Structure 1
Amino acid sequence: MKLKFDSTLDYQQEAIAAVRDVFQGQTPKQALFTVAAIANEQMALGFGDESRQMTLGQGIGNRLMLDEEDLLNNIRAVQLRHGLPQSNSLPNHKLNLDIEMETGTGKTYVYLRTLLELNKAYGFTKFIIVVPSVAIKEGVQKTIEITRDHFRGLYSNVNYDAFVYDGKHIEKIRDFATSNDIQIMVMTINSFQNDLNLINRYNDKKFGESKPIDLVRETKPIVVIDEPQSTISTDAQVEAVESLNPLCTIRYSATPIRVENKLYRLNAVDSFAKKLVKGIEVESFAAQDDHNEAYLLLKSVNNKKSPITARVEMDVQNKRGVVQRKAVTVKQGDDLYEKSGGRDVYEGYIVKDIYCAEGSEYMDFTSCSDILHLGKAIGTVHDDEMKRQQMRATIEEHLNKELELNPKGIKVLSLFFIDRVANYREYDAEGNAVKGKYAKWFEEIYQDMIRRPKYHDLWHRLHNEDDEAELVHDGYFSADKGKKNEPGHWKDTSGSTAADDSTYNLIMKDKERLLSFDCKIRFIFSHSALREGWDNPNVFQICTLNETKSTIKKRQEIGRGLRLCVNQTGERQYDANLNILTVMANESYDEFASSLQKEYEEDGIRFRVLETANFANILVPVPAEDVATGTAGEETAYLGTEKAEMVMESLKEYGYVDDEGNIQESLKADIQQNKFVVAEELAPYKAQIQEICMQACRTVPIHKKRERREAVLNKEVFLSPEFKELWDSIKWKTTYRVDFSTEELLRRCRKQMALEMKIPSPKIIQTKADLTIGTGGVETKVVADRAVSTYGSSNFLPDIVAYLQNETNLTRRTIVELLTGTRQDEKGTWIPFDDYGNRLKDFQKNPQVFMENTAKILRSVMKSLIVDGIKYQRLGDSEYYCQELFESEELKGYLESNMLESTKSPYNYVVYDSENERQFAQSFEDNEDVYLYAKLPDWFKISTPLGSYNPDWAVMIDQNGEKKLYFVLETKGNIDTDALRKTESEKIQCGREHFAALGDKAEFMPVDNFTEFMHSI
């Protein structure tokens, strides 16, 4: 079983293009440097005489031909496109780029493909991926392995060597430097940040008079930093990366730090809203009114000043006699009886000692034998019962998911994080491994649950023997090295020790095997080893079995199961109803949600905040005076920073945000009540501004499992003649063909080229640098870098016709006509056909920039012409979407979160995706002229040249019982063509043509206001 990858995901392509476009204008070219070949060492035995013969070879490196101004302009264009703050300079004249992508969205896939794309576009060949830990390294290595065939399919003529750096095979450094093929080297930061690392030491035998890192530096590699918040969290680590002499660094993280030039952002809120990761629900287990014994939890110790103190969580009685659990500060000699407000259960708990040695922190008492260790609790007499309930709920949820998902070819996995390895696997007096209490509980509960009648078919399909409960669970723990004739023992670790290496290696190799039905393991137990670096797409339940609330960060916890699930053929499943991650938390729902929200904020994600950059990329019509005659209103541009600042001032003026951009409650209230206002000069963009504000009001959606409901068929509506009539009017499938005129293509392209293409000449860059010679060798520091002159035509002219053919699939003849502005008459003479002239002088002036811009214009115009010339035709009477498909639809949602009770649709609930959809659904329910309606399922798709298109609603209007009207609605926040992204607008146009081909029974209408829709009919 192999995981499959989708190369067409929009958000991944956007992230890849964001980096690629920073180098627009770069001409692909190989740069050479001299590399000392291996020294042939000869020694005259017995005399101590040695002679060396050095040979010179050629190595291949990256070379950047753009100056700082070009790069900064490209960066700002990308940032504007994605609504991000604009960079004003390149700090320290270094090119550092940041990509923010949430865990589970394919970050590693994106940066690996980005490297191949940079090679394809510009010829760069030397790449280094720097990771913070063994866990991340193993994950990257696994992704390289499983994507190799996929990338070979995308980049068929490209050879690349991707390997993990290992000091034992340091000769690979020479291969990295000298190979003509793409080289991708994966390194941990610890492998080269220290002067004692082998890569930083002279190696006469293999590298002559050079250090291995010298060869790396000469290649000017493009360096990818994976998880920079861990990889370059210290100045020493930053300096280590700089010692690689990178052409640029590209930093990928869900929680970026040291941000300099952010090019793309896909944060947690965006990922959940776009359903790119699993939805999260919480089943909480918390003791209530359990204050009958002395409860204590040591949260922290502090010896930074005298006296030494500790923070202890305990049950405190207030002046009204109410007992509450809270943290208090104590020192040596404090009486916890007094601290508790005089509760008898704390009698005798007088602090004797607070011990602060790292790793052994504890507190003890004078009058009792209890020792309180850091992070541990005493007095939780019902703790085992709590854990058993968590385990029972996890197993039950798991089995229910198996009933639902196994028939779809999806294997279900559950993950348990445990506090101590010994609770799952311990050792007897003879040193033999035996089951701990968690393993025993699991098998006992599992045997009881699986034999219930509900799971009868599941039991017979999966089990043959009574003892197979042993085979469905396993643990992944780290072990010590052991001794001679004695194997190592499993032990508790932090997740970052050398002992964890084999654990990461094991579970990484098992990653795909765990997804197969052939592997019986479905429940995984782990200590700290899986905190980072490992996830599995089919983890649907996560349960933390701890003495107290989980000490693992919530983001780390849920990150192990956020990735969308796959079936037995390795295909990703995008149905949101299937992709639900259930967290079994030993705390209340409110506590879990609050802690997770706080962690996101600590990691730098700002919720409910607006900034100028959010509005700068609003699309607006180009003013008539800025375009050629006859095209006013046809072209669009970005709103820009100046007007975006006006938007922010307007929001502050009306009290929607404060001076820091924090959203106020009045903003959401006015949007919901249709009272949202903007300054008069911003009125043309009001709808776009409102849509952005609505999106900014979102937070990470954490649902209560107990509020989950499944929408069931409302048979009164579904079986009614009226619904059948409505469905019969829209259910038909179509095919399309495209006609467009080559003459029109040439006219539009050449006109756009004349208006937009300003080709700069290549520049001569003058660089001034300080040079110092020290113990580390010769080092340079750039102090000035500027363009001093330009120069004329290039001596190297690539095959532009072949390039444009490859980019557009147009014929050579059409491309020649485009470039020359001439075509052959009946006599074979080439004559001009417009006034824009021959563009080949611009091509000779700067070939790469000219080719890139021409290809971009061609693709844009071709896409518009394809949509303009599209014709749909119904596929007879045999191709259609059956009404019965509604019966197999599985719709799930959460009360008060994304479900609205319905009496007019085919289900008893409407599951909506946005506030805009909720408002429309409520309006359909309330309006007496709406007879019935349906939110069109995800499987109701219309084929278009731009990908599948799924309209929003089908509606039947009954006016006074006299006439029935059928409508298919696309409900955007704003349907103005200028406000929609180009692809959205073009898909809507395809939808209009599709339904027109079905006849006049149903009308397709884009609408953004329910009242205006009703008035229009």
Structure 2
Amino acid sequence: MQIQYEHLDYQQQAIFSVVDLFRGEITHHQDEFSLSDKDNMRVIANELLLSDDDIFNNLKNIQEQNQLASSDKLDNLYFSVEMETGTGKTFVYLNTIFELYQRHGWRKFIIVVPSVAIREGVLQTLNSTKGYFKEKFNSPIYHYYEYSGKKTNVLKHFATSTNIEILVINIQSFEKESNIINQERENGMLMDLIQATNPIIIIDEPQNISSDKRKNAIDNLNPLFTVGYSATHKEIINKVYSLNPVQAFEKNLVKQIVVNSVISQDKNNAFIELREVVNRSGLKARIMLDINETERLQRRSVTVKMGDDLYDKSQQNPNYQRFIVTGIDLENKKVKFSNGIEITAGVNLDYLKDDIAKQQIHATIKAHLQREKQLNPLGIKVLSLFFIDKVENYRQNGKFYLWFEELYPIVYKEVFQEIYDGDANKIHDGYFSQDRKDKHLKTDKSKEEATYNLIMKDKERLLSFDNEVRFIFSHSALKEGWDNPNVFQICTLNETTSTIKKRQEIGRGLRLCVNQQGERVYDETINILTVIPNESYEVFAEKLQQEYVDDCGIKFEKSHLKNAKNERTVTYRYDAFTDPLFVEIWQKIRQKTSYRVKFDSDELIKSASQALNQMSEIIKPKIEIKKARLIQNSDKGVQAEEIYSDYQYLDKQFAIPDILKFLQNKTGLTRQTLVKILKQSERINDIRNNPQRFLEIVAGIINRQLQSLMINGIQYERLNDMYEQGLFETYQIYTNEYTFDVNKTQKTIYNGVLDLDSKTEHQFATDCENYDEQVAFYFKLPKKFKIPTPIGNYNPDWAVVINKNSEQVYFIAETKNTGNNVQDSVVLDELRQKEQFKITCAQKYCKLVNGIDHEVVQKVDELIQK
């Protein structure tokens, strides 16, 4: 098959954004511009007569037309083109070469690339576009070739030819003095031949050629001018065109993305992920652990040093017993523990990591076969790409290789409802850079060479139904510079979450697909790329958006990032704290209190054991498979919309932790009481299914029964201490849609804005201001004002003074919204149990404080009607 190339408007705009930089230059230079070296060799060179001032004026006009920031000055003739991966960057700069020749007669071009994958991609595109350029530019005579230290003879032809000459060269071939091209020879240096031609330099992926050494090597080529093309520039100089990733998605120039995440829900084993090792006042490491928080385990980052005990760092999570840090290796990025376990950066200790990887392969094969079922009849071949972190996991019958061969027939039957009778060995293959370097690797070298040619050089044969390979495994060789229009699935098989940038991951499959005639297919329902990572789709979307911000400088209008322009200060009017209405209510509520609780242990044992007996089945740990469509636009950024959910239960045996110690820490009850509760519940055997889940649920049930008894037995007592007015501190806020601008300062203590966090609170404040006759005074209680309760301190929302029947009534008010209902008020039973408990405690607290009521309301008029 032959890929068909088309004339696309956005590509033409990118082409002429470079060509028009030289508007005013001689239309077509003479056929020959001769220089002589010591051997009297005639060299045909590019020539530029246009002044820098004229080029600078052209640059500013182009930037204005393309709505880009204007360059302040023109220090050098280097220009940047930003094009999202998959939108035809290589095709664009090859077109630019021919347009520059046609307009100005320039004919010496060097394409500098940073890697083998990019080089092969450029050469493959040059080969497949011959027919297109022949037809479009009236059969120009041109040559293209690859330079290497073994192909130095091409330089003489490059320098002396009168035709268009395109030299593709790796930066590694000329960046060092020791390179053959820079060595003094009998007839001089080969570099002299290049320099004499004043070549036009095109840099593919210049972010990989950004070191001073490599920049100097580019300058040493003596370029007429240089243009860098990339989706992820590190340094943008004189940008002339921009097509950023969000614009490409909005215009449907690339595939849309679905994220099919595969994540573990098991917390029964020690999870450790080493994030970094540093030397800051001694060796330290930052690691991820499952921290034993109030209700459940939460995965968080902690910093450890020599001698630290992970059992203590994890708040006594029993999974981390005997994990004491005994070694930190800065050079090799390793941490060693007292039990002999070592963890290396980039590899985590996760009991289920193999289960997750195997499920990812299953999900990828399933997505692939479902797409084949849909697209094969349309003449579209489907490809899938796996990124792996260790070559040995595939080569030499590694686990990924074996799992694929095991799973493919199973998934095939799931999708097609028939037995697979083919040879799974023929449909997958791998390319790894070490295959061609490692002479000791025991592989069939001829087969590896054939695989290299298929994957790296012959994209069109790979796209044909005549070739059986549809699944490709790679380590790092394909992560940048290689793509294929018919990659519909990308799976990252890593022992930790992927360290490859999200844009690099998705970039291998963003290009719109082609059919067997090589024609581009523009159907949005077909052009969907499914990414199968081992992290949640929410995290994937968040990281992708952050890369857009970091790499491209994209600013989303509704970004969640704090903006200094939205910063305001909450201040208080100078006489606020002497206002009689404030003084009256403040004197009532500023009294600090403590509490004590009485309850019957036998009643607790009875109620808790009965509740445990009725609890739902404790299910086994599972791997969750969730699918979400990524919605991308310039306004809201990258959002994930969930479209599918499934799970896979794991049939595994787990070590049973110290049950009584865990429950003692969570409930505060004695071992004797806990033993009675567990025995009478008759549910202790459920712990075998999922120990951590069992303990968290049991602790929650016991605490809820305990709290119910405590509500009836709680008693508040006054302390010999008062809250001071210092609680009302001036502080900074970032305004949002709920921030309230105070107008009637005589009704409150604020002078400016009020910091609120919900629509309900905003409406409540609005009504307080508008009800002039009935609301005498109101203010938001400071966050440091606390009512103590057995399950944590409670900070009520409001203090309100209501005019009622010619007298003033004082309230502490909590604003909640439980939706429309027949009561037209807050339904307490619909609130979370913790909220109900704290509200009950607050009501008992208010009984101790004379002349004040606690109410839970949605609107001000509910207080007025009390």
**What range is the shorter-chain TM-score in?**
0.5 to 0.7
> Contact (CA 8 Å) 2:538, 2:640: kept in 1 or not?
no
- Counterpart of 1:185? 167
Structure 1 residues 425 and 219, CA, compared in 2 at 3 Å: closer, same or farther?
closer
Q: Distance in 2 between matches of 1:404 and 1:603?
A: 36
1:406 paired residue among 367, 376, 394 = 376
- Counterpart of 1:808? none
Q: Distance in 1 between matches of 2:195 and 2:56?
A: 24
Partner-residue secondary structure (3-state), 1:513: helix
- Counterpart of 1:4? 4
Q: Deviations over 1:923-950 (max 9, x none)?
A: xxxxxxxxxxxxxxxxxxxxxxxxxxxx
Mapped pair 1:70 → 2:50: no
Structure 1 residues 695 and 574, CA, compared in 2 at 3 Å: closer, same or farther?
same
State the one-letter code of the partner of 2:321.
E
Mapped pair 1:83 → 2:67: yes
> Contact (CA 8 Å) 1:62, 1:125: kept in 2 or not?
yes
> Contact (CA 8 Å) 1:229, 1:256: kept in 2 or not?
yes
Mapped pair 1:547 → 2:531: no
State the one-letter code of the partner of 2:95.
R
In structure 2, stretches of 5+ residues that fail to align are: 568-631, 647-866
2:181 paired residue among 194, 199, 206 = 199
Q: Deviations over 1:107-126 (max 9, x none)?
A: 00100110111000111111
Mapped pair 1:102 → 2:84: yes
Shift of 1:703: 4.9
Superposition map of 1:319-468 within 5 A: 320-357=294-331, 360-366=332-338, 368-378=339-349, 380-426=350-396, 435-452=397-414, 454=416, 456=418, 466-468=421-423
- Counterpart of 2:523? 575
Partner-residue secondary structure (3-state), 1:113: helix
Q: Distance in 1 between matches of 2:311 and 2:443?
A: 42
> Contact (CA 8 Å) 2:120, 2:457: kept in 1 or not?
no
Shift of 1:215: 2.1
Superposition map of 1:225-304 within 5 A: 225-231=203-209, 233-288=210-265, 290-303=266-279
- Counterpart of 1:593? 541
Shift of 1:704: 3.8
Q: Distance in 2 between matches of 1:483 and 1:147?
A: 34
Structure 1 residues 548 and 695, CA, compared in 2 at 3 Å: closer, same or farther?
closer
> Contact (CA 8 Å) 2:366, 2:415: kept in 1 or not?
no
Mapped pair 1:129 → 2:129: no
Q: Distance in 2 between matches of 1:151 and 1:129?
A: 17
- Counterpart of 1:21? 20
State the one-letter code of the partner of 1:436.
G
Partner-residue secondary structure (3-state), 2:71: coil
Shift of 1:257: 2.9
Structure 1 residues 702 and 164, CA, compared in 2 at 3 Å: closer, same or farther?
farther
Q: Distance in 1 between matches of 2:157 and 2:640?
A: 49
Q: Distance in 1 between matches of 2:335 and 2:425?
A: 39
Q: Deviations over 1:409-459 (max 9, x none)?
A: 001111122232232232xxxxxxxx3322232222221222347455xx7
State the one-letter code of the partner of 1:249.
T
Partner-residue secondary structure (3-state), 1:301: strand
- Counterpart of 2:102? 120
Shift of 1:283: 1.2
Q: Deviations over 1:376-411 (max 9, x none)?
A: 122x22222222222222222111111111111001
Shift of 1:551: 2.0
Shift of 1:502: 9.4
> Contact (CA 8 Å) 1:480, 1:488: kept in 2 or not?
no
Structure 1 residues 536 and 598, CA, compared in 2 at 3 Å: closer, same or farther?
same
Q: Distance in 2 between matches of 1:481 and 1:604?
A: 35
Structure 1 residues 566 and 592, CA, compared in 2 at 3 Å: closer, same or farther?
same
Superposition map of 1:653-672 within 5 A: none
Identity, in percent, stands at 47
2:195 paired residue among 217, 238, 243 = 217
Superposition map of 1:364-763 within 5 A: 364-366=336-338, 368-378=339-349, 380-426=350-396, 435-452=397-414, 454=416, 456=418, 466-479=421-434, 488=442, 505=453, 507-608=455-556, 696-700=634-638, 703-706=641-644
Q: Distance in 2 between matches of 1:189 and 1:182?
A: 22
Partner-residue secondary structure (3-state), 2:481: coil
Shift of 1:238: 1.1
Structure 1 residues 269 and 441, CA, compared in 2 at 3 Å: closer, same or farther?
same
Structure 1 residues 55 and 603, CA, compared in 2 at 3 Å: closer, same or farther?
closer
Shift of 1:583: 0.9
Q: Distance in 1 between matches of 2:96 and 2:562?
A: 37
Partner-residue secondary structure (3-state), 1:169: coil
In structure 1, stretches of 5+ residues that fail to align are: 37-53, 427-434, 492-499, 611-655, 663-693, 709-1017
Shift of 1:258: 2.6
Superposition map of 1:951-966 within 5 A: none
Q: Distance in 2 between matches of 1:477 and 1:124?
A: 39
State the one-letter code of the partner of 1:255.
T
State the one-letter code of the partner of 2:62.
V
Q: Distance in 2 between matches of 1:374 and 1:503?
A: 31
Partner-residue secondary structure (3-state), 1:216: helix
State the one-letter code of the partner of 1:602.
D
Mapped pair 1:169 → 2:151: yes
> Contact (CA 8 Å) 1:163, 1:184: kept in 2 or not?
yes
> Contact (CA 8 Å) 2:158, 2:165: kept in 1 or not?
yes
Q: Deviations over 1:61-110 (max 9, x none)?
A: 1111211121111111111111111223202xx21111100000010010
> Contact (CA 8 Å) 2:142, 2:165: kept in 1 or not?
yes
Q: Distance in 1 between matches of 2:641 and 2:92?
A: 29
Q: Distance in 2 between matches of 1:488 and 1:661?
A: 63
Q: Deviations over 1:952-975 (max 9, x none)?
A: xxxxxxxxxxxxxxxxxxxxxxxx
Shift of 1:543: 1.3
Structure 1 residues 179 and 335, CA, compared in 2 at 3 Å: closer, same or farther?
same
State the one-letter code of the partner of 1:354.
I
Larger Cα Rg: Structure 1 or Structure 2? 2
Structure 1 residues 284 and 216, CA, compared in 2 at 3 Å: closer, same or farther?
same
Shift of 1:192: 1.1
- Counterpart of 1:919? none
> Contact (CA 8 Å) 2:255, 2:511: kept in 1 or not?
yes
Shift of 1:279: 0.2
Q: Distance in 1 between matches of 2:378 and 2:150?
A: 46
> Contact (CA 8 Å) 1:130, 1:224: kept in 2 or not?
yes
State the number of aligned residues: 576
TM-score (norm. length: structure 2): 0.63
> Contact (CA 8 Å) 2:381, 2:463: kept in 1 or not?
yes
Structure 1 residues 12 and 472, CA, compared in 2 at 3 Å: closer, same or farther?
same
Structure 1 residues 311 and 160, CA, compared in 2 at 3 Å: closer, same or farther?
same
Partner-residue secondary structure (3-state), 1:353: strand
Partner-residue secondary structure (3-state), 1:193: coil
Shift of 1:354: 0.9
> Contact (CA 8 Å) 2:306, 2:325: kept in 1 or not?
yes
Structure 1 residues 422 and 194, CA, compared in 2 at 3 Å: closer, same or farther?
closer
Shift of 1:657: 12
State the one-letter code of the partner of 1:364.
K
> Contact (CA 8 Å) 1:313, 1:327: kept in 2 or not?
yes
